[in-house]
Amino acid sequence: MSRIETDETGPTAAGGAAGLVRRRPLTAFVVLAFGLSWGFWLLSFATSSPVLFFLGGLGPAMAAAIVAWQLGTLQPWLARVLRWRVSPWFYAFAVGFPILLYAVPNIVAAVFGASPDLSLAGERLPAYAVTWVSALFLGGLEEPGWRGFALPRLQRRYTPVRATLLLGVVWGLWHLPVEPLAIVVTVPLAFFYTWLFNRTGSALLCVVLHASITPAQDHLTLVADSPVVDAAILGTLIVVAVGFVVATRGRLGLADSAAGHDAPAEPDDGTSADTGQRRP
């Protein structure tokens, strides 16, 4: 990640771990996120401790807090994490978009001969609500790290599409101890998070989106699992992600800030997230 970090600000002469964090904040973030999460998860597997498993999910947020603190930029990072005053339409998107997204594979599966059981939608509503709340405090709390810290810095050096692809891969690899195939869906899903973050500057909204995607994945498939259904889900994610890229001309929300929408967040060092320094 050295190319990503050549324009980081802050002291670079300090030695030891602190100096390394200042010189390579993204590298430090990724190493800490993986180290903390995988360490807690391995301990949880050995001890069957749900507390340690929960702490593992906080690895990216803890890593972001540590690096931001070391850089002296904890306050602007927290401002992104806690930003809640955005248009209600973005809250509606964060809650409702996953429902629409995961309704599509049922339609595709029906075209290929499956019979969605619509009665399951009502039966699963309580489980959907419980999963949403639990995901808000479990998986959703990854987002202060991925979107609140890593994404703005990646977008300083890369186009939004490249930054999203890179972050989607890292995000998927991070899941390896608990979900070995997560990378299959984290890459296309990352595009929706990038768009929402760039439009709002809020990692909190990404927490809400994460909490909404998890129950949609778990409870909105109304047909029996099969290779056709799995292909329909993955195909839907990829097609819609490509649609976001095409509709935004590859900017994934960044260009919209000039039109009076909620501006994208500022990176930790206070420079614009859209510096014009990205590589083609």
Q: Indicate whether 267 belongs to any domain.
A: no
> What one-letter code names the amino acid at 7?
D
Rounded CA-CA distance 232/52 in Å is 35
Q: Indicate whether 140 belongs to any domain.
A: yes
Q: Indicate whether 167 belongs to any domain.
A: yes
Name every residue whose Cβ is closer than 8 Å to that of residue 17 and which is 6 or more positions away in sequence. none
Q: Indicate whether 92 belongs to any domain.
A: yes
Q: Indicate whether 27 belongs to any domain.
A: no
Q: How many domains does the chain have?
A: 1
Q: Indicate whether 29 belongs to any domain.
A: no
Structural domain including 160 reads: 74-259
Q: Indicate whether 270 belongs to any domain.
A: no
List the pLDDT tens digit at each of the 280 positions of the chain: 444 454 444 444 456 777 778 889 999 999 999 999 999 999 999 999 999 999 999 999 999 999 999 999 999 999 999 999 999 999 999 999 999 999 999 998 888 877 888 888 889 999 999 999 999 998 999 999 999 999 999 999 999 999 999 999 999 999 999 999 999 999 999 999 999 999 999 999 999 999 999 999 999 999 888 888 899 999 999 999 999 999 999 999 985 443 333 334 444 444 333 333 333 3
pLDDT of residue 274: 34
Name every residue whose Cβ is closer than 8 Å to that of residue 278 and which is 6 or more positions away in sequence. 155, 156, 157, 158, 159, 162
- Determine if the pTM surpasses 0.85: yes
Q: Indicate whether 57 belongs to any domain.
A: no
Residue 154 to residues 43, 149, 229: CA-CA distances in angstroms? 31, 9, 34
